[in-house]
Amino acid sequence: MNKSVNKTMAWKKLALHYRLHKKDEMKDLFAKDKNRAEKYTVNLGNLYLDYSKNRINSKTMRYLIDLTKEVKLRDKINAMFNGEKINITENRAVLHVALRNRQNTPIYVDGKDVMPDINAVLAKMKKFVDSVRFGKFKGATGKKLTNIVNIGIGGSDLGPFMATTALKEYWAKDMKCYFISNIDGSACEDVLSEVDPETTLFVVVSKTFTTIETLTNAKTCRKWLVDALGEPAVAKHFVAVSTNAQEVAKFGINTENMFGFWNFVGGRYSMWSAVGLSIALMIGMENFEKMLDGANAMDLHFKNTEFEHNIPVILGLLGVWYNNFFGFREHGVIPYDQDLRFLPKYLQQLDMESNGKFVDVNNQFVKYETGPIVFGGAGTDVQHSFFQLLHQGTKIVPLDLIVPAISHNEIGEHHEILVANALAQGEAMMRGKTVKEAAAELTKAGKTKEEVAKLKRYKSFRGNRPTNTIVIKKLDPYTLGMLVAMYEHKVFVQGVIWNIDSFDQMGVELGKQMALSILPELQGNAQGMHDSSTNKLIELIKKIRK
Ligand code: G6Q
């Protein structure tokens, strides 16, 4: 049994260190050490992490690294890469890293090497992707399939959705991609009103193939297709990605048109498997494999680099420092790239579903904070909304600013203005503006004494707000692979420190169960045993719907 992390020596040292240094100002740390930026920058190829604008000094990093030793992070990383069953509540290995194990070294689960199966599915994907893209696999009426509709939810939606959007510049010019996830009929309607049955391929993605949202959406789409082109068209317009061949067949999709994956791939870690079929259809298999290569490069970096220079480890440790010592409970991700605008949404699931847990792997309730609330949006858009609170609110939210040096669309000055904004935000968050500085500025601008006195506090910024700046060369498939794998491993590091199982998601079950009991009550006369509010709401909605 692991010692509770808050009882470790490193934790205690960090707590004391926090008390001594909590008021340290980053601007003073910069003034004192000309090499600070250099000292706190690491890179992997064209991905650079500058973490110098954090409330840390060399002792902080030393104690945080000590913490990794006490929680045996190195052993835990090896356990994951070796296929040990680290998802203890579900008794499963956790092998998204095997999906991009480009070295093809054997990885065993229950004595069986998983690589041949992974390679076989990749080969099947390649064959299918090529035949759709080159127009060999055609629709029922002989037309090329140019509209890809991904039907899935959660882990079977967010990865493909984020990645296809991120890699839009690599889409086949004649193809379009759509996503249906929500059970809301409008989600189906929005897509079906846009596409033509003759040219549409539905990719139904569901690990279990029992998820009510996905199956209901798939049935609606199936009916829409059959109404237009007849029953035999289903074989030409529907493929499935699942671990459950039986249910796929029951749904009426030929299992020849099914792409498999395995229980050792968690939903939110699955876009590297056949779950990424929509990504591959849109960007081509070669580019999909470049994404795997990028993730693999990050995997090797994570596995083999000493923790002092290990990007996911550093990010994970900084998050723990703020979450557990400063009490900063949120984490913001701000990509300065329009095509990465859904990355925060993707990371919300990755991080919050993985580490939003209150029971540890020793079956004990934790006595410290675990996963942060993750949110974000594309810069500069969000600068004109919630950045007010980030600059002048009473809460401090550490941020990741993600900045591509080169844009896919270098039009006029657009990209330079965008980058200038990203860098300015990092500097402003760090430096702030004292009341005195604000007053001096107002005076210089010709304001009267009274006006200065009235406005100087409103115009001040406390600063000392931490940011990581992550610079990438350009958003290409390889870099996206690196970036996403970086966050996966950051989440892993934090899960190890908090001693929780980052790979189950029991917390989404209760609401699902209750919805199943409410459904017949809404649809008929069944009587449920709910609280008076829920009972009344059921009656109210039934009455309105009559
Ligand atoms: C992710 C979760 C969850 C899952 C969805 C869809 O890690 O497991 O988001 O991906 O509930 O499940 P199916 O793929 O089984 O439909």
- What is the CA(33)–ligand 1 centre distance, in A? 47
Catalytic residue among 72, 512, 536, 539: 512
Which tens digits make up the pLDDT trace of 225-283? Answer: 999 999 999 999 999 999 999 999 999 898 999 999 999 999 999 999 999 999 999 99
Which tens digits make up the pLDDT trace of 84-137? Answer: 999 999 999 999 999 999 999 999 999 999 999 999 999 999 999 999 999 999
d(CA 7, CA 13): 10
Q: Which atom of ligand 1 is nearest to the CA of 208?
A: 15
Domain ranges of the chain: 5-70+305-431+465-501, 114-285, 509-545
Residue 384 known to be catalytic:
yes
**Ligand 1 pocket, CB under 6 A:** 153-156, 206-208, 211, 214, 266-268, 353, 505
- What is the CA(346)–ligand 1 centre distance, in A? 13
pLDDT greater than 90 at residue 17? yes
Q: What is the mean pLDDT of the chain?
A: 97
Q: Tell which CATH architecture fits domain 5-70+305-431+465-501.
A: 3-Layer(aba) Sandwich (3.40)
Residue having the nearest C-alpha atom to atom 16 of ligand 1: 206
What are the structure tokens assigned to 293, written together? 């290569």
- What is the CA(90)–ligand 1 centre distance, in A? 14
Catalytic residue among 353, 415, 488, 489: 353
**Strand runs labelled E in 222-309:** 238-242, 258-260
CB distance 354 to 503 below 8 Å: yes
Distance of CA 509 to the CA centre of its chain: 21
Q: Which of 98, 94, 135 is nearest to 114 (CA)?
A: 98
pLDDT band at 525 (very low <50, low <70, confident <90, very high): confident
CA distances from 298 to 210, 294, 319, 342, 506 (A): 33, 6, 19, 21, 29
Q: Which of 496, 94, 118 is nearest to 317 (CA)?
A: 496
pTM, entire model: 0.97
CB neighbourhood size of 409 (10 A): 9
Q: What's residue 338's pLDDT?
A: 98
In CATH terms, the fold of domain 114-285 is Rossmann fold (3.40.50)
Residue having the nearest C-alpha atom to atom 1 of ligand 1: 267
- What is the CA(207)–ligand 1 centre distance, in A? 7
Residue 308 known to be catalytic:
no
CB distance 91 to 85 below 8 Å: yes
CB distance 313 to 319 below 8 Å: no
Establish whether the linkage from the previous residue to 380 is cis, with ω within 30° of 0. Answer: yes
User: ∠ CA 278-406-302 to the nearest 5 degrees?
Assistant: 65
Q: Which atom of ligand 1 is nearest to the CA of 205?
A: 14
What are the structure tokens assigned to 539, written together? 């009656």
User: ∠ CA 348-354-356 to the nearest 5 degrees?
Assistant: 80
d(CA 352, CA 9): 28
Residue linked to tokens 């959705």? 161
Residue having the nearest C-alpha atom to atom 11 of ligand 1: 154
Residue 32 known to be catalytic:
no
Q: Which atom of ligand 1 is nearest to the CA of 266?
A: 7
Q: Which atom of ligand 1 is nearest to the CA of 213?
A: 16
What is the distance in angstroms between the CA of the first residue and the CA of the last residue of the chain? 57
CA distances from 276 to 99, 122, 125, 162 (A): 11, 10, 10, 11
- What is the CA(355)–ligand 1 centre distance, in A? 16
